[in-house]
Amino acid sequence: MKLQGFDMDFPVMLAPMAGITDMPYRRICKMMGCDLTYTEMVSAKGLFYEGRRTKSLLCTAVEERPCAVQIFGSEPGLMAEMARRLTCEHKSELVLIDINMGCPAPKITGNGEGCALMRSPALASRIIEAVSKSSCLPVTVKFRKGWDEGSVNALEFARVAEESGAAAVAVHGRTRSQMYSGKADWDIIGEVKAALSIPVIGNGDVFSGFDAVELRRKTNCDAVMVARGARGNPWIFGEIKAALAGVEFKRPSDAERIDMAILHTCQMEAHIGAHAAAVMRKHIAFYVNGIPGAAKLRREVNACKTVKELVDSLKSYKARSANTP
Ligand SMILES: Cc1cc2nc3c(=O)[nH]c(=O)nc-3n(C[C@H](O)[C@H](O)[C@H](O)COP(=O)(O)O)c2cc1C
């Protein structure tokens, strides 16, 4: 996949996930073999008003740079101005600016943002054109199969994106009505790939190395982007790389999962301080998913008030398990 400032054969990417792809987690994914990380989606309006929370979403780790930032909004002028500012202020940290045109959340689509833009291709085109013109970094667009089964338009929408100046597109093979249910339609990703000259990033239902190999084979996409399969599972990047190279991959042990959860917790504390204890609960629920005694451990973790209590609880689980024959 070739973009200005980025050239890599079939990169494996961490998808943007609001509430999940925080900076400490992105850094861990990069360490575990991810080729490109995306920030959580950042509101262009929030950037304009310089909201503290919005600005903190832009904080990137040295180890993950250059990474991708994703913005959302519906006003071409405002988004263009924010892209200009971002590319001036964070140029050395970023490789591309992605525009979110796939978010299905009613609070976003209700404002005409995210996936709602798939119903207004003319406005989407003006946004992509304005952002591309004002950004000195490549601009990409992430969208879905369509709004609903009755209005599938990923192919036409992808052409609009390309004509408006997008340097690449990421396609999630589900409609907005599906949210995250049902199966992702990889055929639509293949159709988009066949129709465009710019790179196409395939996304949806990649939960293993095998899935990534199949997605590539079936769609001929230029890169793969993993979301839910990476939650509590940063090893998936190594697994995908191994599958692409046709070599064996050793899955992490339960003890390694706990160690990763502890590392993530410590990095989160270094990033945001005491609030890490609350923020880490959701991450830990994913790390421990499927290990023996996970429900009890989750309850213990959820009762922890401080980071120290939380780390002690994880360590004591590990010690208990080591002593269990
Ligand atoms: C918790 C969560 C948060 C998400 N946040 C974003 C987001 O901020 N921006 C975005 O473009 N997509 C977001 N998505 C969608 C994912 O990036 C991805 O397109 C979708 O989950 C399909 O990929 P998967 O099957 O690998 O999960 C989110 C998904 C989840 C589960």
Asked whether residue 325 carries a pLDDT value surpassing 70, the answer given is: no
**Residues 1-19: tens digit of each pLDDT:** 999 999 999 999 999 999 9
When pLDDT is cut at 50, 70 and 90, the band that residue 321 belongs to is confident
Q: Assess whether 288 and 236 both reside in one domain.
A: no
Q: Render 221-283 in DSSP notation, one character per residue.
A: -SEEEESGGGTT-TTHHHHHHHHHHT---PPPPHHHHHHHHHHHHHHHHHHHGGGHHHHHHHH
| Contact in structure between 98 and 141 (CB atoms under 8 Å) | yes
* Same domain, yes or no: 228 and 166: yes
The preferred substitution site among 12, 14, 17 for testing ligand 1, maximizing ligand atoms within 8 Å of CB, is 17
Query: Both 161 and 294 in a single domain?
Result: no
In this structure, the answer to whether residues 12 and 99 fall within a common structural domain is yes
SS3 172: strand
> Residue 64: its pLDDT value, please?
94
Q: What is the pLDDT of residues 218-262, one digit of tens each?
A: 999 999 999 999 999 999 999 999 999 999 999 999 999 999 999
pLDDT: which is higher, 48 or 68: 68
Do 268 and 186 share a structural domain? no
The answer to whether residues 114 and 208 belong to one domain is yes
Pocket test for ligand 1, best of 99, 115, 215, 228 (most atoms within 8 A of CB): 228
Distances (CA, A) of 32 to 39, 67, 201, 238: 17, 15, 20, 6
Give the list of residues 6+ apart from residue 178 with CB closer than 8 angstroms, or none. Answer: none
In the listed set 215, 245, 275, which residue is the last one of a domain according to the structure?
A: 245
- Are the C-beta atoms of 199 and 219 separated by less than 8 Å? no
Does the pLDDT value for residue 175 go beyond 70?
A: yes
Q: What is the CATH number of the domain that holds 223?
A: 3.20.20.70
Provide the residue range defining the domain that includes 235.
Answer: 2-245
Mean pLDDT of 154-169: 98
CA distance 200 to 212: 14
At which of 245, 277, 305 does a domain end?
245
Of 220, 245, 270, the one marking the end of a domain is 245
236 and 288 part of one domain: no
**Is pLDDT at 26 greater than 80 in this prediction?**
yes
Is there a single domain that holds both residue 269 and residue 218?
Answer: no
* Residues labelled as active-site residues: 103
Whether residues 267 and 241 share a domain: the answer is: no
Q: Which residues line ligand 1 (CB under 6 A)?
A: 15-20, 40-41, 70, 100, 102-103, 142, 172, 180, 184, 203-206, 226-229
Q: Are residues 261 and 230 in the same domain?
A: no
Residues 219 and 266 in one domain: no
Phi and psi for 167 in degrees, rounded to 5?
-90, -20
Q: How many domains does the chain have?
A: 2
Same domain, yes or no: 238 and 316? no
Cα–Cα distance measured from residue 218 to residue 312, given in angstroms and rounded to the nearest whole number: 46
